[in-house]
Amino acid sequence: MAIEGAPAGWVTDYRAEGFGENKDIGILFVHGFTGTPASMRPFAHYFNERGYRVSVPLLPGHGTKWQDLNEVHWSQWQKKIDDEMIELKKSSDKVFIACLSFGGTTALVAADHQDKLVGLILVNPLIHLPGIQKYFASLIAMFQKSRASVGDDIKKPGVTEWGYDALPMKGVAEMLKYLKKARASLPRIKVPLLIFHSKEDHVVPETNVEIFLDEIGSKDKERVNLLNSYHVATLDYDAEIIFEKSLSFVKKNSK
């Protein structure tokens, strides 16, 4: 897995206008930690082909070289997503957020933008990391710049999310700070939730899905188990299930 060789434009910001009866409905797609918009592009294209306005931002520190992710403060990710949400709201009457993995931290943005936000779609979301090492992440980062990559956990052969081939440790320390703040915001989120969980995920444990379902303030919550995908399910065998069920969710909550 690496950034080099990615299709032109797939590891940068991507936006597309809507058309027809769905042109005033916007969807913000957020990629995972060490990943790129490439992991969400097919998902976004699926909706844009049906007339929805879409936005797939590149998070700060991503899409270049892994060392750059060690130079980012968590607030930069928050600001990027927040800015994209503000722009999307300017041209949309209703907005949805769709996230993969680390994109689950957009709970903080979702909690602050419920004036036009009408639904939240999460695919194998990350909101906490188990184990004692998380308490020493900042200390570990002082002695170890990176660890083995956690990207490309995809069951389908020959598929890549075009992300980093290393796990930047200072970036991990900042991510953990962001996760803590995002989790605290869950009770404030009242919009409907659709959450997908791969039963065989080698990156994010199932406890993350359980935390979202238990702690989010939404009354309307639906869980869909994916039986033939690993962590990056938006590019895996169950992608069509995700796309089709998400479309039904969007249609239901756009009325």
Residues marked as catalytic: 101, 201, 231
How buried is residue 136: exposed, middle or buried, by Cβ count under 10 Å (0-12/13-18/19+)?
exposed
Helix (H, G, I), strand (E, B) or coil at 135: helix
Residue type, 211: I
Element (H, E) at 98: strand 94-100
For 192, what's the count of Cα atoms within 13 Å in the CB-facing half-sphere? 16
Cα–Cα distance between 192 and 189 in angstroms, integer?
Answer: 9
Helix (H, G, I), strand (E, B) or coil at 182: helix
> At a CB cut-off of 8 Å and minimum separation 6, what does 234 contact?
39, 40, 42, 43, 100, 123, 242
